[in-house]
Amino acid sequence: MKLRNYQEKISVDAAEILTRKKLVCIFAEVRTGKTLMALETCKKVNAKRVLFITKIKAFSSIQNDYTNFDYTFHIDIINRESLHKITSIDYDVVIIDEVHGYSSYPKPSKYYKDVKTRFGNIPMIMLSGTPTPESYSQYYHLFTLSNNSPFKQYKNFYQWANEYVDIQLKYLGYAQVKDYSNAKKKDFWHLIRHSIITFTQAEAGFTTSVNEMVLEVEMKPITYAIVKRLHKDLVVTNKAGKSIIADTGVKLQQKTHQLYSGTIKHEDGTFQIIDNSKAEFIKEKFEGYKIAIFYNFIAELEMLKQSIGNKLTTDLEEFNNSDKWIALQIVSGREGISLKMADHLVFFNIAFSAVSYFQAKDRLTTMDRKENTIFWIFAKDGIEEKIYKSVMLKKDFTLSTFKKLYNVGATDTNKNNQTTDKRRLALFKNN
């Protein structure tokens, strides 16, 4: 096996930047082979020990690349939740996969603090296909993961923002807060551009087309009845005394989202499968194909297991080496893995995040694959198509969007709280 020409060139450039600056960012689109670019860069800087921080589902793919290309440096592959297991920081290079996951703002995340504290002084390779999916303000914490950051003269995000962000005021409920999302990229780009290598699928020679098909499923009458009653009374209680409560706009949005795919999470933390129409539809519709299914809620996975049985796995290795279907959660499965063995991607549900939409649907893409088909399974007259139309435009499906579409007033939930106990309805069966 050998590297593609562009992978070789990028690794040469990355090694030169890493040697000089102790920090290099490879921002290449999905399926262009960022893992190999990073591993080859480590080889070219003569690294002896490498730490690769990624997601669990990407472990096997990274290990295969490491083995297939006969790299001889020592490598430890770990997920960020397990960094406490690393007892030594004797590494020559740290590779951080999907680095945008560390770039929350204005306050840094726990994982940001963990990585920076332990590995901030070690030469660092950062990988991402979407480095700033929400705002250019994410660049601050992304780059300051490394103590060799071009922003190291700023003590914190707020000091940086005073110079590079058009800070505005907005209202959250009755509180007035500062909005730091409008960063002025052109004012700080000169500080970071020499540490960044970008690469697109078009530059790599990808000619893949992605076809998206929406398939509607008529849900059972019980689903529509519960949703209707919940929007009217903000609470529905079953015969066992368990309740669906939507006493805030956020809860009403979340519960509506869950119900239209056939499940619900109760106030006590337990979940209930109410309507398996989508799962049964997928089982029948895709018989004879090898598919990867993306779900959103844990209860949806349990429903899929019940309907599909032993034909379903959640293990990528088993999926790649058998005729089984695989089920992956949208957030955890959207990054760092390849599903090229699947004939189709099937989305059981859709997340509110535009990032999830674009990253998850690219899991099929490879250079030698000319056409991909993605199927979205939506409840007829449900919420999913409304979410879909929003994220396709690179806009998250926010609470304000939900309120406008469903005519939910800002104070509706508060007004109705006094009457909900009187209007409970036992609409669905016991667990």
What CA–CA distance (Å, rounded) separates 373 from 213? 7
CA-nearest of 76, 79, 187, 195 to 142 is 195
To the nearest whole percent, how much of the chain has pLDDT over 90?
62
What CA–CA distance (Å, rounded) separates 195 from 193? 5
Q: How does the average pLDDT of the chain come out, rounded?
A: 87
Domains of the chain by residue range: 5-204, 209-423
Give the mean model confidence (pLDDT) for residues 163-184.
87
* Encoded tokens for 20: 């000089």
Of 238 and 386, the structure prediction assigns the larger pLDDT to: 386
Q: What is the pLDDT of residue 239?
A: 81
| Domain range 5-204, its CATH number among 3.40.50.10810, 3.40.190.10, 3.40.50.620, 3.40.50.300 | 3.40.50.10810
Q: What is the pLDDT of residue 301?
A: 96
Strands (E), 101-202: 124-128, 168-172, 175-179, 196-199
* pTM, two decimal places: 0.66
Q: What is the pLDDT of residue 377?
A: 95
Residues 209-423, CATH architecture: 3-Layer(aba) Sandwich (3.40)
Q: What is the pLDDT of residue 406?
A: 87
Q: What confidence tens digit (pLDDT) does each residue in 111-137 have?
A: 999 999 999 999 999 999 888 888 999
Q: What confidence tens digit (pLDDT) does each residue in 361-419 have?
A: 665 555 445 567 889 999 999 999 999 888 877 778 888 889 888 887 644 444 444 44
Element at 372 (helix H, strand E): strand 371-379
Q: What confidence tens digit (pLDDT) does each residue in 289-306 have?
A: 999 999 999 999 999 999
Handedness of CA 327, 330, 332, 336 (dihedral sign): positive
How large is the greatest C-alpha to C-alpha distance in the chain, in angstroms? 72
Q: What is the pLDDT of residue 23?
A: 98
Q: What is the pLDDT of residue 210?
A: 73
Domains 5-204 and 209-423 share a fold: yes
Handedness of CA 177, 181, 185, 191 (dihedral sign): positive
Q: What is the pLDDT of residue 170?
A: 81
**Does residue 65 have a pLDDT over 70?**
yes
